[in-house]
Amino acid sequence: MGKAVDEFRIIENDENIFDLDGEYVIPLYQRAFAWEEKQLFQLVEDLNDIPAGGRYYIGSLVVSKSDNKYEVVDGQQRLTSLFLLLSCLGEELKCTLSFACRDKSNYTLKKIHELIDEGKGNYDIERIETGIHQGIRILMQKIKEDGIDESELLEKLRHVIIYRIEVPEHTDLNRYFEIMNTRGEQLEQHDILKAKLMSYIKSDKDKLVFAKIWEACSDMTGYVQMHFDKNSREWIFGYEWGGLPSDKWSDYKELANNASEEGNEFRIIDIIDQDFEVHYSDVVDDGNNRVRFESIIEFPYFLLHSIRVFVDVQGISNKHDDALLNELLDDKKLLSNFADVVKDGIWRGKYINDEQNREQFSKRFIMALLRYRQLLRRRAQRLRQLLTRSA
């Protein structure tokens, strides 16, 4: 095992940080690449402002090492941005950055130079991950609009230092996430909760199923069905996409075999087919006008409501004979609410905190969450119809 903390220059001699001693893997419980114009512009501006001969510390990269792979615990947005920036500056990088179980993201990184070349290469647009693609466009726009000398920026990157901090073996990564969150870092409480619940699940395929359902439920900007691919929508929600999802884990196994990361897109080959038809699940008012979905609740509060409904429906009691959850909804106590249920809950005569029961709790809750999201959609449709008729 190497040093606990390693200091690297982004570029040193003829190598960069992606040429060094291992592969960086973004785990499934982490969010996909999400930096937008504000963060990427700031990154380029900070780097471009480095004085001649100066040193710039870009922060730390926290990793958990296994064999020759580094699981990125913290700093993945910064690391991915550096990969994109170096590529935009013409560097040929080794394929040492990857996303666990995100085929679109990995395919996009492999095709990055074709995308930088504005589509002159050979790639399948349907397999391109939009967040990474947008990041490339933003960086190229910034470089061109500001007239940045690419060779000068590469030279400045030789003075940029990043620390790679390797956590000790057997570190409780979930506890680490909590500590980082209290310091106001990028992780939100629901991100930490996702990682916690996934940590209770043993199988990688089951973790992937959990993650796909969670991502679909967490996007409150549209109907939950639209966050799955078309085929998945039909067998989860029925042909008309209006049914209540199953509460049997085995019915979701197919999600692990579906590599799609985005569910609201159509393939060009489908669109040009003469029988192509778009199925809408939007509300239709009395004037036959479609009304878009707008959520009345943010995801953290939806989780707070959901765990209370789940505890009640499942008959989960407190081993101390007190109320398991307070009636007051406080998004700052999202993690502690779930921690209390796991620590003190008795479910079907057994302690949830036993290892096997924690896994079943996670699986049952994520299926319930999907069902609650569908019920929320139905309620929103009904409420809007009533409001429209009374207007």
On whether both 157 and 227 belong to a single domain, the answer is: no
Query: 67: closest CA among 21, 20, 7, 103?
Result: 21
Query: Is position 187 within any domain?
Result: no
Query: Is position 194 within any domain?
Result: no
On whether both 328 and 373 belong to a single domain, the answer is: yes
On whether both 221 and 158 belong to a single domain, the answer is: no
- Nearest-5° Cα angle at 198, 230 to 134: 50
On whether both 225 and 96 belong to a single domain, the answer is: no
On whether both 164 and 212 belong to a single domain, the answer is: no
Query: Is position 192 within any domain?
Result: no
On whether both 136 and 212 belong to a single domain, the answer is: no
Last residue within a domain, chosen from 128, 149, 171? 171
On whether both 221 and 166 belong to a single domain, the answer is: no
Sheet harboring 5-9: ordered strands across? 5-9, 160-166, 56-66, 69-74, 23-26, 97-99
Query: Is position 162 within any domain?
Result: yes
Query: Is position 65 within any domain?
Result: yes
**Cα–Cα distance, 252 to 298 (Å, whole number):** 25
On whether both 247 and 159 belong to a single domain, the answer is: no
At residue 172, the pLDDT reads 63
On whether both 78 and 218 belong to a single domain, the answer is: no
pLDDT in tens, the chain (391 residues): 445 678 888 998 888 999 887 899 998 878 889 899 999 999 999 898 888 777 888 888 888 888 888 989 888 999 999 999 999 999 888 889 999 888 889 999 999 998 988 756 788 888 889 999 999 999 999 999 888 889 999 999 998 988 888 887 666 655 665 555 444 445 577 887 888 898 899 988 899 899 999 989 998 888 888 888 878 888 899 888 888 999 999 999 888 876 544 444 545 555 455 555 554 444 444 444 544 556 678 899 999 999 999 999 999 999 887 888 877 788 888 888 898 899 999 998 999 999 889 999 999 999 999 999 988 877 655 655 555 555 4
Number of domains in the chain: 2
On whether both 209 and 335 belong to a single domain, the answer is: yes
On whether both 212 and 144 belong to a single domain, the answer is: no
Query: Is position 228 within any domain?
Result: yes
**CB-side exposure of 94: number of CA atoms within 13 Å?**
12
Query: Is position 166 within any domain?
Result: yes
At residue 3, the pLDDT reads 52
For residue 220, how many other CB atoms are within 10 A of its CB? 17
Range of the domain at 52: 5-171
On whether both 355 and 234 belong to a single domain, the answer is: yes
* DSSP, residue by residue, 12-80: ETTEEGGGSSSEEEE-TTSPPP---HHHHHHHHHHHHTPPTT--EEEEEEEEEEETTEEEEEE-HHHHH
